[in-house]
């Protein structure tokens, strides 16, 4: 047990006497910090640091800690949840008790995760296991057969209702289809009758016009009006929307094909020999991440773009790749939706096509694994669209 791992102390610099940490201590910022940019930047920094341990022997602990950091970021960046959390935190500071007043979720010293109940996700914390040699998962409480039978029986009325609703729906759809078929047959019959009457009239009045009867019939007969074409999908480019928050290593977030750099020959994004009219540029810092967050309007269900690196600069023709490999990620409401392969060659890219139905906030992230030299990360033609109705 002398080599027991304390992830909070070793990875985040939180000593045992300051554990369990609150959300602010996890992110390494002052308690009750109100600046959303400070909170977002600190969260990205801590998450990127802990993710570097995912490839090691303590992968499970690192993943658990990443999830806690993402929860802390989500709570502190949402006004209502942050206000409730700050109120509870202040109350427990005054009472000198843990935030939730119950057992905390622990990351034991030997890396075996033990789940304990908590009151709400906003009050979840992590403690360091002390003076313990064996950690085991709590056994599930057995339920009596009488309780199981009672619970199963409660689903019977619901199941019957669902079956009845499904049968009713099938009958209604069948009736609608039959009505449509009958209407179509009636329309076709009227159309044939009108055509026959018109043909007979032309034969009677002008016998020499028999050769052109078909043409006259077609010109006199009123054909059914064509149905209007379905409306095309509505698209919206992300760089036309204001960003909710962002963090980059150089300059600022570039929009509409601009790189966001202050000066030099990098003012315009060039990708595969062309200058796209719509592109988002976000140069990450070394061994860290850059991101930009957008609040999405309603009714959009698809995000598409090309994630890649801009072409080599004219004044640096010999440089053909970035200083390290980059990974592009798309998050919807703090849930990972898409991840690219590792890109390093300048001018290289990968298509992104992901469903975003119901997503309220979209976050584009670029992870830099080392040197950020020539890490000109871009999202070309980033747009959201909704399917035609």
Torsion of CA 211, 217, 218, 220, to 10 degrees: 140
Domain boundary (128, 153, 170) is at: 128
203 within some domain? no
Residue 369 · residue 276 · CB < 8 Å: no
Same domain, 243 and 115: no
The CA radius of gyration of the chain, in Å to the nearest whole number, is 32
pTM greater than 0.85: no
pLDDT for the residue 234: 86
Same domain, 241 and 378: yes
Domain count, the chain: 2
Domain with residue 353: its CATH number is 2.60.120.1060
156 within some domain? no
348 within some domain? yes
d(CA 201, CA 82): 83
Q: Which of 382, 342, 346 is nearest to 364 (CA)?
A: 382
119 within some domain? yes
Q: What is the pLDDT along the chain (389 residues), one digit of tens a residue?
A: 346 889 999 999 999 999 999 999 999 999 999 999 999 999 999 999 999 999 989 999 999 999 999 999 999 999 999 999 999 999 988 887 655 433 344 444 333 333 333 333 433 333 333 333 333 334 445 555 555 555 555 677 888 889 999 999 998 898 888 877 667 666 666 655 555 554 444 444 444 444 444 554 444 545 455 444 455 468 999 999 998 899 998 788 989 988 888 766 567 888 998 989 999 999 899 999 999 999 998 889 999 999 999 887 666 677 889 999 999 999 999 999 999 999 999 999 999 999 998 999 999 999 999 998 888 899 999 999 986 55
pLDDT for the residue 259: 82
89 within some domain? yes
Same domain, 111 and 239: no
pLDDT for the residue 51: 95
Give the range of the structural domain holding residue 353, as residue numbers without chain letter.
Answer: 234-386
Same domain, 114 and 241: no
Tokens 């009488």, residue located: 146
pLDDT for the residue 212: 47
114 within some domain? yes
pLDDT for the residue 312: 73
Conformation bin of residue 101: beta by default, left when phi > 0, alpha when psi is -120 to 50: left
Domain boundary (94, 128, 162) is at: 128
Of the chain, the end-to-end C-alpha distance in Å amounts to 63
pLDDT for the residue 106: 42
pLDDT for the residue 147: 52
Burial 147-163, CB ≥16 within 10 A → b, else e: eeeeeeeeeeeeeeeee
Q: Long-range contacts of range 262-269, CB-CB < 8 Å, 24 or more positions apart? A: 264/315, 265/313, 265/314, 265/315, 266/313, 266/376, 269/310, 269/378, 269/380
Structure tokens at 258: 């601009």
279 DSSP β-pair partners: 380
pLDDT for the residue 268: 83
Measuring CA to CA, how many Å separate 345 from each of 96, 259, 327, 330? Answer: 54, 18, 12, 21
54 within some domain? yes
184 within some domain? no
Domain boundary (111, 128, 145) is at: 128
């Amino acid at each position: 047990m002398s080599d027991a791992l304390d992830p909070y102390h070793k990875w985040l610099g939180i000593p045992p006497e300051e554990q369990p940490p609150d959300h602010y201590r996890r992110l390494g910022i002052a308690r009750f910090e109100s600046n959303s940019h400070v909170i977002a930047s600190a969260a990205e920094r801590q998450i990127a640091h802990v993710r570097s341990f995912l490839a090691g022997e303590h992968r499970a602990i690192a993943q658990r800690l990443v999830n806690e950091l993402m929860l802390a970021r989500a709570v502190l960046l949402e006004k209502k949840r942050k206000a409730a959390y700050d109120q509870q935190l202040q109350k427990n500071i005054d009472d000198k008790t843990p935030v939730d007043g119950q057992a905390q979720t622990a990351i034991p010293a030997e890396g075996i995760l033990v789940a304990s109940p908590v009151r709400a996700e906003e009050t979840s914390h992590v403690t360091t296991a002390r003076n313990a040699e064996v950690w085991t998962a709590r056994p599930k409480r057995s339920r009596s057969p009488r309780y199981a039978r009672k619970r199963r029986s409660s689903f019977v009325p619901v199941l019957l209702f669902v079956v009845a609703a499904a049968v009713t729906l099938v009958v209604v759809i069948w009736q609608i289809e039959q009505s449509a078929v009958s209407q179509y047959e009636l329309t076709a019959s009227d159309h044939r009758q009108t055509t026959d009457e018109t043909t007979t009239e032309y034969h009677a009045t002008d016998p020499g016009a028999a050769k052109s009867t078909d043409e006259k019939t077609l010109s006199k007969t009123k054909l059914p009006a064509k149905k209007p074409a379905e409306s095309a999908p509505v698209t919206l480019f992300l760089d036309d929307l204001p960003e909710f928050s962002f963090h980059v290593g150089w300059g600022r977030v570039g929009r509409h094909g601009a790189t966001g750099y202050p000066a030099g020959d990098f003012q315009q994004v060039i990708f595969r020999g062309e200058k796209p009219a719509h592109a988002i540029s976000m140069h990450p810092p070394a061994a860290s991440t850059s991101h930009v967050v957008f609040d999405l309007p309603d009714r959009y269900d698809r995000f598409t773009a090309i994630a890649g690196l801009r072409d080599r600069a004219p004044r640096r023709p010999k440089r053909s790749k970035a200083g390290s490999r980059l990974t592009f990620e798309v998050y919807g409401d703090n849930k990972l939706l898409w991840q690219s392969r590792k890109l390093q060659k300048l001018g290289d890219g990968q298509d992104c096509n992901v469903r975003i139905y119901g997503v309220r906030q979209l976050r584009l992230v670029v992870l830099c694994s080392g040197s950020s030299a020539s890490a000109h990360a871009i999202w070309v033609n980033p747009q959201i669209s909704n399917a035609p109705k």
